[in-house]
Structures are given as C-alpha cells and as structure tokens.
C-alpha cells in the first residue's frame, strides 16, 4: 500500500486473543465433551499473561461449557447479543443475561450474520455498545467479499465497517473492543489469506483507529485475523506485527487443533 504512513507497533501493549467460534455446532452434551478435551489439551500450557483463550459457543451450550471451564483460564463467549437489556424481543438474548451466565466475550457482526440475518453496520454498532456497557468484550467482525477484493475496494469496505461499528465509542471503549478481520472469501473455504494480506488489512484497521482517536488507543486494540486459520498456518499469521490473535471457526471444533493454534500464539 504505497504512500501509507507505517505506524511502529508494539505488540506488548495489547493482548493476544485466540477465540474459537463454534458457530451452530455442538449440542450441550457434545459441547461439554469438547470443552473437557480442550481444558485437558491446554492443561500443561501456561497461557497466563500472554494469550487469552476464549470459546464462543451457542447460547444453549453456555451453561455446560462454563461449568466445565470454571477454574481454567479458558473464557466463554457468545456469538451474538441483542442491544436492548430486556423487553419484547422474542428469541433474543441480552448482554446482562450473558454476563450473568459467566460470558466475557461476544462475537458481533460476523459475516454470516450480515449475510443471512440482516445484520447491518448500525446494528453491529448497537450490539457492541450494549456489550461494552455490560462489561462484555465485543469481538467485532469486519471483512470484504471476494468481489470487493477483486474490485480493489477492500480498504473502503473495511474502513466503512470499522468506522460505523465504532461510531460514538470513547477511546476507553475502543480499547476494550476486539476487531476481527475476516475476509469473507477465507471463511470456511480452506482458502486462508496470506500472512501479508492479513497483516496489511490489520495494519490498515489500526491506522483507521489512530485516525478516529489516537495512536495510544490504536496500539491497545487487539486485532485478530479469521478465515481458515489452522494449526499449520497460525504461527505465520500470528507472527505479523499487527495480527494479535485469531477468530477460529472450523479448526476450533477439534480440541487438539485449537490447542495447537493457542500454542502457536505463545
Ligand atoms: P473458519 O471460520 O475458521 O472456519 O474459516 C472463521 C470464522 O467464521 O470466524
């Protein structure tokens, strides 16, 4: 990206976060088993202080997974949240409900929700705000379609999604937010972005945050990469200076594979 001012980045100023996104997989019985296997696979791995590990599970699995993982450093996340605290919103789940169940993180604006469930930049903003107000960490997903990358508008798309998602946030709220850069063409396709492509867009997102607030805020924000991250490519992606973790779909359904990704982040 010629002409762009490169910001010198210090990774120690922010957390590396590896989050599994189980999507619509795992009944509570299956979820309990996978959580047990994951706790076991990571039992000898000291992640304290260096890597935060989260599993974002279906709502109905939260109780079982929280029980299994209590007393471990692995945190429990959800995959969506409504922006009102309570009310006549049949089928929805609010941030206070999640928090009381022990949830610490929530995925917001995943491309599957944007694509299939009418999620917009505006509702992403409302959901992330509701999460923050309840003390949850939103993992806000942004990323371009293949047609948008091919048309050369990746930056435009990611800039719009990021700015609208963070609209009205204070610098302190931005610092408590995780952004996941997930190129839609890499999700569930086995086609991973190259480490350089991931780095380029993650660095660009940090530049956007710098422009919105300041460099200190931008340096504090965890920016993950997501899209066919697996044990075999995690180390290369995570070695990049602006890639601070991963949002992992398919590979998070295997405890052994997910544990390898966590280890690649250490
Ligand atoms: P994937 O999914 O790792 O299966 O590509 C990533 C995601 O959708 O968060």
Query: pLDDT tens digit string along 224-246?
Result: 999 999 999 999 999 999 999 99
Q: Which residues contact 255 (CB under 8 A, 6 or more apart)?
A: 34, 37, 38, 40, 41
Whether residue 8 is contained in a domain is answered as: no
Q: Assess whether 182 carries a catalytic annotation.
A: yes
Q: Two tokens at 211? A: 């422009």
Distance CA 266, CA 20 (A): 16
Whether residue 57 is contained in a domain is answered as: yes
List, for residues 95-127, the tens digit of each pLDDT value.
Answer: 999 999 999 999 999 999 999 999 999 999 999
Which of 198, 247, 251, 258 to probe ligand 1 with, by most ligand atoms within 8 A of CB?
A: 247
Whether residue 87 is contained in a domain is answered as: yes
Distance CA 31, CA 83 (A): 26
* Ligand 1 cavity residues, CB under 6 Å: 21, 182, 187-188, 226-229, 247-251
List, for residues 48-94, the tens digit of each pLDDT value.
Answer: 778 999 999 999 999 999 999 999 999 999 999 999 999 999 999 99
* Percent of the chain residues topping a pLDDT of 90: 90
Distance CA 213, CA 64 (A): 40
Closest CA to 242 of 158, 169, 165, 184: 158
Whether residue 86 is contained in a domain is answered as: yes
Q: Assess whether 110 carries a catalytic annotation.
A: yes
Whether residue 110 is contained in a domain is answered as: yes
Q: Two tokens at 186? A: 């890499």
Whether residue 5 is contained in a domain is answered as: no
Domain CATH for 123: 3.20.20.70
**What is the extent of the structural domain holding 164?**
15-25+32-42+49-264
By the 8 A CB rule, do 197 and 228 touch? no
Average per-residue pLDDT in the chain? 95
Whether residue 205 is contained in a domain is answered as: yes
Whether residue 153 is contained in a domain is answered as: yes
Catalytic residue among 182, 200, 219, 257: 182
Domain count within the chain:
1
């Amino acid at each position: 990206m010629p002409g762009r001012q490169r910001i010198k980045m210090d990774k120690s100023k922010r957390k590396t976060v590896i989050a599994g996104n189980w999507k619509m997989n795992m009944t509570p019985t299956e979820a309990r088993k996978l959580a047990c296997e994951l706790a076991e696979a990571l039992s000898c791995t000291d992640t304290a202080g260096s890597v935060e590990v989260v599993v974002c599970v279906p709502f109905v699995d939260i109780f079982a997974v929280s029980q299994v993982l209590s007393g471990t450093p692995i945190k429990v996340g959800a995959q969506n949240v409504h922006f009102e605290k309570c009310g006549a919103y049949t089928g929805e789940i609010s941030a206070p409900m999640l928090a009381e169940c022990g949830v610490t993180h929530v995925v917001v604006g995943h491309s599957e929700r944007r694509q299939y469930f009418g999620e917009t930049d505006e509702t992403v903003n409302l959901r992330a705000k509701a999460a923050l107000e309840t003390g949850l960490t939103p993992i806000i997903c942004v990323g371009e379609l293949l047609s948008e990358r091919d048309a050369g508008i990746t930056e435009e798309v990611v800039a719009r999604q990021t700015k609208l998602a963070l609209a009205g946030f204070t610098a302190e709220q931005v610092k408590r937010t995780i952004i996941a850069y997930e190129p839609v063409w890499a999700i569930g396709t086995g086609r991973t972005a190259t480490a350089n492509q991931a780095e380029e867009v993650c660095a660009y997102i940090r530049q956007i945050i710098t422009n919105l607030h300041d460099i200190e805020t931008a340096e504090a924000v965890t920016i993950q990469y997501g899209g066919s991250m697996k044990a075999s490519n995690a180390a290369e992606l995570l070695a990049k200076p602006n890639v601070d973790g991963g949002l992992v779909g398919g590979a998070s359904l295997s405890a052994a594979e997910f544990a390898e990704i966590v280890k690649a982040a250490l």
